[in-house]
Amino acid sequence: MLVVIKENYEEMCREAARVVSEIIREKPSAVLGLATGGTPLGLYRELIRMHKEEGLDFSKITTFNLDEYIGLPPTHPQSYHYFMRENLFKHINVDERFVHIPSGMVDVNEVNRIHAYCDWYEERIKESGGIDLQLLGIGANGHIGFNEPGSSLGALTRIKTLSPKTREDNARFFGGDLEKVPKYAITMGIGTIMAARIVLMLAGGRQKAQAIKDTVEGPITAKVPASMVQMHRKAFLIVDREAGSLLDIQYEQFVRDLQ
């Protein structure tokens, strides 16, 4: 794992965009695993700028999103279909035929159909040649995607029950009304994430500091799902100074030494 600490959120996002853009320029048909939430917004803004001002070409890429709430149609303002369209896809020249976001309209009571759909999503990833770069955020409790603490470290795409902490954290996106926050989601599993050739995790703000410390310097444990990235053969963790404030090792010096 290579840990890079940037001074602030904007610098963190620019560095992450540099990594993503290099992947796309080296392989125009790259397969990208994408994430939602507040953390990647700055990265997406920078990628849009690169597309408009520097000609970064997204026309041949394939995308797979990490997750989606169960029960929200694609047009719902808090669905991840809507998020991706408004914050990235409609601003770049991505081919919608190659965009994949889990459906939030599967019925949680139809277990066989859910399993079949999750298997279908996994097969689409395999048919695409696998994910070249998987973008990740991290929850304050150490979750990645919707793999909550206690999740299997080898699981593939599946339905998950959201923890009370995650629902509370996401209530701000639903007008502060916890009752409006879905209780279930479809998510790539940690096994799916770990199969990506490169993992790029971002974190900003002091509220993520303990999760980052546990992820980087703690034991690998299902209690902190993100800690599994310690085992990845090519993982990049880019954080701002506040998110990295509890780390014991001086990673900035380590990065300079590498250069």
Among the options 46, 51, 65, 67, which is catalytic? Answer: 67
User: Residue 217 sits in which domain range?
Assistant: 2-258
What's the pLDDT score for residue 257?
Answer: 47
Among the options 122, 132, 148, 214, which is catalytic? Answer: 148
Active site residue 109: no
Active site residue 51: no
Active site residue 57: no
Q: Do 165 and 207 form a contact (C-beta atoms < 8 A)?
A: no
Number of domains in the chain: 1
Among the options 122, 143, 147, 240, which is catalytic? Answer: 143
Active site residue 257: no
Domain of 61, CATH number, reads 3.40.50.1360
Q: What is the pLDDT along the chain (259 residues), one digit of tens a residue?
A: 899 999 999 999 999 999 999 999 999 999 999 999 999 999 999 999 999 999 999 999 999 999 999 999 999 999 999 999 999 999 999 999 999 999 999 887 788 888 999 999 999 999 999 999 999 999 999 999 999 999 999 999 999 998 888 899 889 889 999 999 999 999 999 999 999 999 999 999 999 999 999 999 999 999 999 999 999 999 999 999 999 999 987 655 455 444 4
Rounded to two decimals, the pTM is 0.93
What's the pLDDT score for residue 250?
Answer: 60
CA distance 23 to 154: 26
